[in-house]
Amino acid sequence: MSKEIIKRTKLEIAKSPEGLEGPGFFASKLEDVIGLARANSLWPLPFATSCCGIEFMATMASNYDLGRFGAERLSFSPRQADLLMVMGTIAKKMGPTLRQVYDQMAEPKWVLSVGACASSGGIFDTYSVLQGIDRIIPVDVYVPGCPPRPEQIIDGILKIQELAKNESFRRRNSDEYKRLLNSYGLE
Amino acid sequence: MNEELFNKLKEKLTAKFNDAVEVSEITYGFPTFTIKKDHIHEVLTFLKNDEELNFHFLTDLTGFQTADEKHLGVIYHLHNMIKNNRVRIKTFFDINKPEIPTATDLWPGANWMERETFDFYGVKFKGHPKLKRILNVDEMDIFPMRKEYPLEDQSRDDKNDKMFGR
């Protein structure tokens, strides 16, 4: 009986980064350790405007439980958020607000574009709707679907985690990154 | 009841503004009058201030474009809540000179509805206190509900006839 419980509740914890191991010490790169910490404690800012936001609610709730991936704590202030999750149709009139939210987030920051509308305007090819948020802010990961299932949103978060884990320590100070921001008229 | 109201309205309007009334009819159970543009403000003022008619409430104000695409129109829906009487007033004008007096001096509630009509059809309401776009972005340079402007967003470059079978 107890063996079964032990078998069923086998815990999987995040793997430690590569490094030198010995009795009483572990040496690794600071970059890897910080990447590990960042990836497993993302604070998402949900920018939910329509049905993809409903799917996100399911993603956060107990059945799918985004808390399993360390993204449990939603931040409704952009200043403390790491990950901007844009879920839903962004009207052109909403564009400046979205940009301001992105601009207020502290580095390092990632953007997840959830669903067809946020990624490309979706079915709303019309004068009032922004044809994809990547026209006004840089996007790291796109999640397709109309709306995507919670599994797909989780997959997108895992992709963001991979980016955070493997990001070079100096990326945010690089000329390439500055050029990217400048191409969006930021900073 | 609408017949009665229609006859009374027709009688009163033709007596006071004989040549201003172009069409009078009952459509969808509403008395409807088409008024010449130059007299629209007088007619609205009369309908509001006449003691017997007393159309004190502006239910709706909206614009539209005629099928020949050469004229714009504005429709007013008026309501007398005491007697529960309603009337629909229409007026048409040339699309190249879309000017019409404002109704904000009669009903302050016309303010946002006129801004919306300006936003989507480009109707200039003379005397409106703040005639600027209300729903669309300020930078928009078209009047999107007019048939001469395309519905689709014109900044897309990934759509071509091959992909959409046109």
Contact with chain B for residue A133, Cβ under 8 A: no
Cα-based angle A17, A18, A22 (whole degrees, multiple of 5) = 110
Nearest by CB to A129, from B142, B153, B159: name it. Answer: B153
Widest Cα–Cα separation across chain B: 64
Residue B4: per-residue pLDDT: 87
Residue A168: per-residue pLDDT: 86
CA dihedral angle for residue B159, residue B160, residue B162, residue B166, rounded to 10 degrees: 100
Residue A19: per-residue pLDDT: 87
CATH number at residue B106: 3.30.460.80
Nearest by CB to B151, from A92, A127, A135: name it. Answer: A127
Residue B164: per-residue pLDDT: 66
User: What pairs with residue A48 in β-bridges?
Assistant: A87
**pTM of the prediction?**
0.83
pLDDT in tens, A143-161: 999 999 999 999 999 999 9
The C-alpha atoms of residue B119 and residue A133 are separated, in whole angstroms, by 24
The C-alpha atoms of residue A17 and residue A33 are separated, in whole angstroms, by 7
In a domain, B67, yes or no: yes
Residue B1: per-residue pLDDT: 61
Residue A18: per-residue pLDDT: 85
Q: Answer whether A92 sits within 8 Å of B136, measured CB to CB.
A: yes
Q: Of the candidates A129, A137, A131, A69, which has an alpha carbon nearest to the alpha carbon of residue A103?
A: A137
Which chain A residues are within 8 Å of B140, Cβ to Cβ?
Answer: 92, 127
Which chain B residues are within 8 Å of A131, Cβ to Cβ?
Answer: 153, 155-156
Q: Answer whether B140 sits within 8 Å of A127, measured CB to CB.
A: yes
In a domain, B125, yes or no: yes
In a domain, B83, yes or no: yes
In total, how many domains does chain B have? 1
The C-alpha atoms of residue B31 and residue B86 are separated, in whole angstroms, by 7
The C-alpha atoms of residue B3 and residue A154 are separated, in whole angstroms, by 63
Which chain A residues are within 8 Å of B135, Cβ to Cβ?
Answer: 93, 128
Residue type, A109: K
Q: Is A132:A114 a contact under the CB 8 Å cutoff?
A: no
Range of the domain at B145: 2-151
The C-alpha atoms of residue B19 and residue A33 are separated, in whole angstroms, by 85
Helical spans, DSSP H, in chain A: 2-8, 30-39, 51-60, 95-104, 115-120, 150-166, 175-183
Cα-based angle A78, A121, A46 (whole degrees, multiple of 5) = 20
Domain ranges for chain A: 42-183
Give the number of A-B residue pairs with CB atoms closer than 8 Å. 32
Q: What angle do helix axes A30-39 and A150-166 make, rounded to 10 degrees? A: 160
Q: What angle do helix axes B2-16 and B40-49 make, rounded to 10 degrees? A: 120
Cα-based angle B71, B65, B84 (whole degrees, multiple of 5) = 110
CATH of segment(s) A42-183: 3.40.50.12280
Q: How far is CA A117 from the centre of its chain?
A: 17
Q: Pick the residue of A127, A129, A135 with the most B CBs within 10 A to test the interface with B by mutation.
A: A127
Q: Answer whether A93 sits within 8 Å of B135, measured CB to CB.
A: yes
Q: Answer whether B153 sits within 8 Å of A126, measured CB to CB.
A: yes
**A51 to A19, A88, A118, B96: CA distances (angstroms):** 44, 6, 11, 41
CA distance B30 to chain A (A): 33
In a domain, B6, yes or no: yes
Q: Pick the residue of B152, B158, B163, B164 with the most A CBs within 10 A to test the interface with A by mutation.
A: B152
The C-alpha atoms of residue A131 and residue A134 are separated, in whole angstroms, by 8
In terms of phi and psi (left: phi > 0; alpha: psi -120 to 50; beta: otherwise), the region of B73 is: beta
Residue B133: per-residue pLDDT: 92
In a domain, B160, yes or no: no
Q: Give the residue from chain B lying closest to A92, CA to CA.
A: B137
Contact with chain B for residue A159, Cβ under 8 A: no
Residue A3: per-residue pLDDT: 81
Residue pLDDT tens, chain B, 166 long: 688 888 888 888 888 888 888 888 998 888 999 999 999 999 999 999 988 889 999 999 999 999 999 999 999 999 999 999 999 999 999 999 999 999 999 999 999 999 999 999 999 999 999 999 999 999 888 999 999 888 888 877 777 777 666 5
In a domain, B68, yes or no: yes
CA distance B137 to chain A (A): 5
Mean pLDDT by 10 residues, chain A (187 residues): 78 79 90 90 93 93 91 91 94 93 92 93 90 92 94 94 89 90 87
State whether residue B153 is helix, strand or coil: coil
In a domain, B164, yes or no: no
User: ipTM > 0.85?
Assistant: no
